[in-house]
């Protein structure tokens, strides 16, 4: 086995999920991620845990959403809920071979299922040590425009890294955010202001939910966003790619949404529920080891010199109050003529944090 897979598995088990003796652990993967699944399984066994492996097959989700009747989409799996209540840690491995599998499935059908599973998802987020980790796959490599070998190098160079030495800088940023009221973001076709007053900034070095690490994230005061923002990078959600997104906010709500590609999908997602038009998250990317956009949000939202804002659901740990089945991260590149202000103080310029 590639030693880098062993190293990644150790990071997930020991640092992210903190798996211990007699912990019930779910490992959710796909055939292409078999090597990482087995490495995680072995390490969990050696920790004295009770690991359970769940493998999803290619086209399984497509077959379900294409054929399921409404009563099936709305069905609440009580056994899965009870299982989640017994779960100490759950590990999701991303290793798609086809990144567009659900691209032509009506958003409304996926929304129905997400609403049905809401209680399970809330328990997972708030009550378990959960972690999402990417494993190099042909689908992700193709989206990134790389060979699989090149993509493997990108992934492991970003994931197998000791971020603890960066903690002092992350902590400084958190301390500053927790004293801040107004955040202003300025860049290409962008001038957006919102409040994070009395919210709680969190470092993903303290609570590792996604691997790789490399961000400080917060919630946004729900009715505070004013102005406009343009996203240079494609916004990917539910296997759909939306290019050139421009959003305008008033009293916290999206009042105008335009896209250079896939406008209809953008509009459908914004109509998912009341919370979908409000900002749930403000994050700052601080992983300067990730330099290339790859269309994998686990990596792209951490790119040093970017910020991301998520439409929809906010995090309780950040004292967020917005509720939605949507959580759609969109990434703004600030490495060229971009600026971030905290209460009129310049804290980031051209992608460099000035603290």
Is residue 26 located within the same domain as residue 171?
Answer: no
Select from 138, 160, 182 the last residue of a domain. 160
pLDDT digits (tens, 9 = 90+) for 290-334: 888 999 999 999 999 999 999 999 999 999 999 999 999 999 999
Q: Are 217 and 170 in contact (CB under 8 A)?
A: no
Q: Are residues 103 and 216 in the same domain?
A: no
316 and 289 in contact (C-beta within 8 Å)? Answer: no
Whole-structure pTM value: 0.86
pLDDT tens digits for range 233-242: 999 999 999 9
Residue 55 phi/psi, 5-degree rounding, is -115, 125
Mark whether 193 and 291 lie in a shared domain: yes
Q: Please tell me whether residues 155 and 210 are part of one structural domain.
A: no
Domain at 102, CATH number: 3.40.1830.10
Mean pLDDT for each 10-residue chunk of the chain (355 residues)?
A: 92 95 98 97 98 96 97 98 98 93 94 96 94 93 93 91 84 96 98 98 86 94 98 95 97 98 97 97 93 90 96 95 96 96 97 92
Residues 255 and 117 in one domain: no
In this structure, the answer to whether residues 248 and 344 fall within a common structural domain is: yes
Those residues whose C-beta lies under 8 Å from the C-beta of residue 274, and which sit 6 or more positions away, are: 323, 324
* Residue 127 shares a structural domain with residue 218: no
Q: Same structural domain for residues 277 and 170?
A: yes
State the sign of the Cα–Cα–Cα–Cα dihedral 345, 320, 303, 292: negative
Give one DSSP letter per residue of 246-299, joined into a string. EEEEETTEEEEEE-SB-HHHHHHHHTSSGGGGBEEEEEEE-BTT--S--S-HHH
Q: What pLDDT sits at residue 14? A: 94
Look up the domain containing 338 and give its range: 164-353
Cβ partners under 8 Å of residue 32, min gap 6: 95, 97, 135, 137, 138
Q: How many structural domains does the chain have?
A: 2
Q: Do 151 and 172 fall within a single domain? A: no
Q: What per-residue string of b and e applies to 262-295 under the rule 16 or more CB within 10 Å gives b?
A: beebbebbbebbebbbbbbbbbbbbbeebeebbb
126 shares its domain with 212 = no
Mean of pLDDT over the chain: 95
**CA atoms within 13 A of residue 122's CA, in its CB half-sphere:** 11
Residue with tokens 């845990």: 49
């Amino acid at each position: 086995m590639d030693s880098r897979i062993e190293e990644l598995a150790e990071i997930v088990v020991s640092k992210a999920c903190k798996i211990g003796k007699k912990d019930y652990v779910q490992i959710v993967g796909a055939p292409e991620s078999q090597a990482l699944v087995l490495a995680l399984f072995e390490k969990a066994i050696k920790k004295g845990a009770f690991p359970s492996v769940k493998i999803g097959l290619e086209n399984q989700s497509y077959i379900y959403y294409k054929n399921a009747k409404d009563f099936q989409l709305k069905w609440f799996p009580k056994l899965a809920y009870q299982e989640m209540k017994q779960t100490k840690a759950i590990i999701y491995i991303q290793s798609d071979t086809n990144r567009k599998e659900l691209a032509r499935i009506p958003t409304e059908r996926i929304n129905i299922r997400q609403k049905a599973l809401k209680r399970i998802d809330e328990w997972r987020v708030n009550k378990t040590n959960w972690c999402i980790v990417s494993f190099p796959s042909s689908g992700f490599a193709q989206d990134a425009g790389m060979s699989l070998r090149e993509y493997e190098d990108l992934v492991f160079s970003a994931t197998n890294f000791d971020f603890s030495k960066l903690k002092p800088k992350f902590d400084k940023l958190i301390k500053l955010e927790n004293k801040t009221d107004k955040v202003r973001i300025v860049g290409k076709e962008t001038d957006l202001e919102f409040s994070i007053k009395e919210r709680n900034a969190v470092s993903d070095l303290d609570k590792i939910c996604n691997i790789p690490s490399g961000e400080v994230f917060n919630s946004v005061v729900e009715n505070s966003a004013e102005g406009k923002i343009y996203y240079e990078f494609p916004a990917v959600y539910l296997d759909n790619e939306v290019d050139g997104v421009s959003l305008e906010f008033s009293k916290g709500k999206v009042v105008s949404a335009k896209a250079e590609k896939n406008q209809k999908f953008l509009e459908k997602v914004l109509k998912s529920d009341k919370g979908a038009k409000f900002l749930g998250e403000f994050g700052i990317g601080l992983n300067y080891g990730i330099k290339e956009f790859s269309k994998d949000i686990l990596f792209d939202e951490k790119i040093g010199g970017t910020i991301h804002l998520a439409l929809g659901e906010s995090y309780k740990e950040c004292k967020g109050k917005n509720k939605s089945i949507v959580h759609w991260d969109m990434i703004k590149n600030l490495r060229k003529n971009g600026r971030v202000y905290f209460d009129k103080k310049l804290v980031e310029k051209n992608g460099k944090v000035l603290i």
